[in-house]
Structures are given as structure tokens and as C-alpha cells.
Amino acid sequence: MARVDFTIWCDGCGTEILGLPIVRGKHDFCCQECLQGFRCECCSWYSLDDDERRSDESSKDAPEETEIPN
């Protein structure tokens, strides 16, 4: 586990962990896939600009439009 000024890096893929890590023994992982030794997509997710990430999250939370019967 590498720490630089309170930065945590994934021991699986090497990406910076921006949330809470999955800890197993003395190792930190960014996701379940890395923990199991599989390839993950966290590097691409974390590399998104904050604006892109926010717009993606807000679109998931937006309620679906439904037609109200008269």
C-alpha cells in the first residue's frame, strides 16, 4: 500500500482510490474486481473530470418521466 500525503493507491491496478478502499490484510483495493485479481474499470471512472462524473451521477438519479393518465 503506497500513501503519499494521505493518498491511497490500489494494490491491484494502481489507480488512486478516491473513496473508501476494500482492505484485505495490508492491501488496499479500489473495487471487488481488483480484490479478486480481475481487470477493473476504476481507472477510467476516476480519470473522468468532476463535471462529467457529476452529470453521469445526476442522470442516474433523475426520475423517469411517466405519462399521467387523465
Per-residue pLDDT tens for 22-70?
999 999 999 999 999 998 888 776 665 555 555 555 555 555 555 666 6
For residue 66, being part of any structural domain is answered with no
Q: Are 49 and 31 in contact (CB under 8 A)?
A: no
pLDDT in the model for residue 1:
56
8: pLDDT confidence band, cut at 50, 70 and 90?
very high
For residue 34, being part of any structural domain is answered with yes
- Residues written for the chain: 70
Give the whole-angstrom CA distance, residue 34 versus residue 38. Answer: 5
Q: Residue 51 is placed in which grid cell?
A: 463535471
For residue 20, being part of any structural domain is answered with yes
pLDDT in the model for residue 67:
64
Q: Are 30 and 40 in contact (CB under 8 A)?
A: yes
For residue 23, being part of any structural domain is answered with yes
pLDDT in the model for residue 43:
78
